[in-house]
């Protein structure tokens, strides 16, 4: 599911109506504002946040300069976009780095928010950036919490420190003694969560804050809980003065109320968001890019960044050349499956391309392991000549390929159809077609 899919569809509908109007009256703008208000409230955005947002947009949209401009509809869209960016924090808020290592990051949140998993995701991301992080197990109450963190650390390929059910302050103190020995520059402390806010939880977190003065205190919020996440974040901020928020399960949140409310209510920025189940599924939170996604305008920069992590510079140049020359083969197609899979959900990626969200509505582009296995089997059952020139694969060859790959003729036909569609789209993206879009690799 695409991030904020429901809200994005509502805004796309509103924007389409705006674009179809050459002029706008004051009455029409007020009607648009009512639709925006309803869309935001249905997305579970905080009522006071909605009220202030609509007020700001209305004041600017109803200005004499806008009403008399040649393209008032475009001006209104621009205002909505700018105010939405401001609502979510204007710019990406980076992690604070200690002047003298290690940087200490204290993670906090309620049980079930995905805190332990996000610790692993953050560690893996920092490792990819050249850091040497270590996870510290301070959730001493939840059964198997320590084991879960060790498993997550193993998958992320980072160090983990645990001392069983000792006092959390003593655990962190012992962990910091290991830092210089192991060359660790970032310590991520996984603290205990609770099913609800309680005094004991807060006192434990306050003790950790007082003892180590962490560089970051990040509240982990489950975006699917909407306004509950916002209210809990506010309480944690009042008690701990958090430095930022990480939103989890953003890929499963069809509404988006937490993301659009949390900065306005707490005053603290969203720094990262979890967008899937894999450890790679974490993204820096860019308000401008998120606003663009919500308004159905795509998110090219994030798509480029995902592609750059999957492709080396040499691979990127080779692929760009293939696309320019229109010499993309079934062998190339086979290699791209694993690359694309490592970048994340295919449907969500394609929807980052401006204008593609509408074209792909209702279509599934998910790539699962079974489909990949079938695809590989089919292509590997072809001769090199057939892979280089699939036009020669007629009925007899298709029958042979299906038999050799243990698939049906229909599956072979479907693969070839998908290959030609992909090739056509890549040709368009490389700058050879109408409304072309340059591929990011």
- The answer to whether position 439 is within a domain reads no
- Strand partners of residue 138: 191
If asked whether residues 272 and 323 sit together in one domain, one would say no
Tell me the range of 43-47, 67-71, 249-253, 360-364 where mean pLDDT is highest: 43-47
> Cα–chain-centroid distance for residue 15?
24
If asked whether residues 167 and 240 sit together in one domain, one would say yes
- In this structure, the number of other CB atoms found within 10 A of the CB of residue 384 comes to 10
Instruction: Round the average pLDDT of the chain to a whole number and report it.
Output: 82
What are the tens digits of pLDDT across the range 158-190?
A: 999 999 888 999 999 999 998 888 999 999 999
If asked whether residues 322 and 271 sit together in one domain, one would say no
Mean pLDDT across the stretch 124-130? 93
Instruction: Read off the CATH number of the domain in which 317 is found.
Output: 1.10.260.30
- The answer to whether position 96 is within a domain reads no
What are the tens digits of pLDDT across the range 392-423?
A: 999 999 999 999 999 999 999 999 998 888 78
DSSP 406-425: T--HHHHHHHHHHHHHHHHH
What are the tens digits of pLDDT across the range 302-343?
A: 555 555 555 566 766 777 777 777 788 888 888 776 666 665
130 has pLDDT over 60: yes
Those residues with Cβ within 8 angstroms of residue 54's Cβ, 6 or more apart along the chain or in another chain: 33, 36, 37, 40
What's the structural domain count of the chain? 3
Instruction: Specify the DSSP element, H or E, that contains 138.
Output: strand 133-138
- CB distance 126 to 184 below 8 Å: no
Q: Which domain holds residue 115?
A: 103-298
Read off the tokens for 407: 């698939």
Using pLDDT thresholds of 50, 70 and 90, give the confidence band for residue 434.
very low
Nearest to 336 by CA among 289, 281, 386, 379: 379
Q: Which of 244, 264, 298 is the last residue of a domain?
A: 298
Nearest to 137 by CA among 182, 279, 158: 158
Instruction: Please report the pLDDT score of residue 116 as a whole number.
Output: 93
Using pLDDT thresholds of 50, 70 and 90, give the confidence band for residue 438.
very low
Longest dimension (CA), the chain: 75
If asked whether residues 62 and 114 sit together in one domain, one would say no
- The answer to whether position 120 is within a domain reads yes
Read off the tokens for 94: 């980076």
299 has pLDDT over 50: no
Whether pTM exceeds 0.75: no
CA dihedral 116, 118, 121, 125 (to 10 degrees): -130
If asked whether residues 138 and 267 sit together in one domain, one would say yes
Mean pLDDT across the stretch 355-379? 64
- The answer to whether position 235 is within a domain reads yes
Those residues with Cβ within 8 angstroms of residue 190's Cβ, 6 or more apart along the chain or in another chain: 107, 115, 116, 119, 135, 136, 137, 138, 139, 145, 149
301 has pLDDT over 60: no
112 has pLDDT over 50: yes
Instruction: Please report the pLDDT score of residue 157 as a whole number.
Output: 94
Q: Which of 298, 329, 362 is the last residue of a domain?
A: 298
Those residues with Cβ within 8 angstroms of residue 266's Cβ, 6 or more apart along the chain or in another chain: 230, 233, 234, 237, 242, 245
If asked whether residues 272 and 321 sit together in one domain, one would say no
Give the Cα separation of 92 and 267 in Å (integer): 14
Give the Cα separation of 272 and 220 in Å (integer): 10
Instruction: Please report the pLDDT score of residue 1 as a whole number.
Output: 44
If asked whether residues 115 and 257 sit together in one domain, one would say yes
Q: Which of 263, 298, 333 is the last residue of a domain?
A: 298
């Amino acid at each position: 599911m695409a991030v904020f899919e429901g809200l994005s569809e509502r805004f796309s509908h509103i924007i389409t109506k705006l674009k179809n109007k050459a002029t706008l009256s004051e009455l029409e703008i007020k009607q648009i504002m009512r639709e925006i208000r309803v869309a935001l409230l249905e997305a579970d955005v905080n009522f006071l946040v909605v009220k202030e947002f609509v007020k700001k947009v209305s004041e600017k949209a109803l200005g004499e300069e806008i009403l008399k401009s040649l393209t008032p509809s475009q001006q209104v869209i621009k205002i909505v976009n700018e105010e939405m960016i401001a609502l979510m924090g204007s710019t990406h808020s980076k992690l604070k780095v200690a002047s003298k290592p290690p940087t200490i990051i204290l993670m906090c949140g309620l049980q079930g928010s995905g805190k332990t998993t996000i610790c692993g995701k953050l560690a893996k991301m920092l490792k990819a950036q050249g850091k040497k992080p270590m996870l510290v197990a301070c959730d001493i109450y939840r059964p198997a919490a320590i084991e879960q963190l060790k498993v997550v650390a193993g998958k992320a390929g980072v160090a983990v420190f645990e001392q069983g059910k000792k006092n959390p302050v003593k655990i962190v103190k012992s962990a910091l003694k290991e830092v210089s020995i192991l060359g660790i520059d970032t310590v991520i402390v996984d603290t205990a969560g609770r099913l609800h806010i309680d005094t004991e939880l807060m006192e434990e977190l306050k003790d950790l804050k007082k003892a180590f003065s962490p560089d970051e205190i990040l509240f982990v919020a489950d975006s699917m809980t909407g306004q509950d996440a916002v209210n809990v974040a506010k309480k944690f901020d009042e008690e701990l003065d958090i430095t930022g928020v990480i939103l989890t399960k953003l890929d499963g949140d069809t509404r988006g109320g937490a993301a659009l409310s949390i900065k306005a209510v707490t005053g603290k920025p969203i720094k990262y968001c979890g967008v899937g189940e894999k450890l790679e599924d974490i993204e820096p939170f860019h308000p401008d890019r998120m606003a663009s996604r919500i308004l159905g305008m795509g998110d090219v920069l994030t798509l480029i960044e995902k592609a750059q992590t999957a492709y080396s510079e040499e691979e990127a140049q080779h692929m760009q050349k293939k696309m320019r020359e229109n010499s993309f083969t079934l062998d190339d197609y086979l290699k791209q499956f694993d690359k694309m899979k490592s970048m994340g959900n295919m449907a969500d990626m394609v929807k980052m391309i401006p204008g593609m969200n509408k074209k792909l509505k209702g279509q599934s582009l998910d790539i699962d392991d079974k489909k990949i296995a079938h695809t590989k089997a089919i292509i590997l059952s072809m001769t090199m000549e057939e892979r280089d020139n699939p036009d020669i694969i007629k009925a007899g060859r298709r029958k042979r390929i299906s038999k050799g790959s243990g698939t049906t003729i229909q599956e072979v036909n479907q693969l070839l159809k998908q290959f030609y569609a992909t090739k056509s789209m890549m040709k368009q993206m490389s700058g050879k077609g109408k409304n072309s879009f340059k591929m990011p690799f």
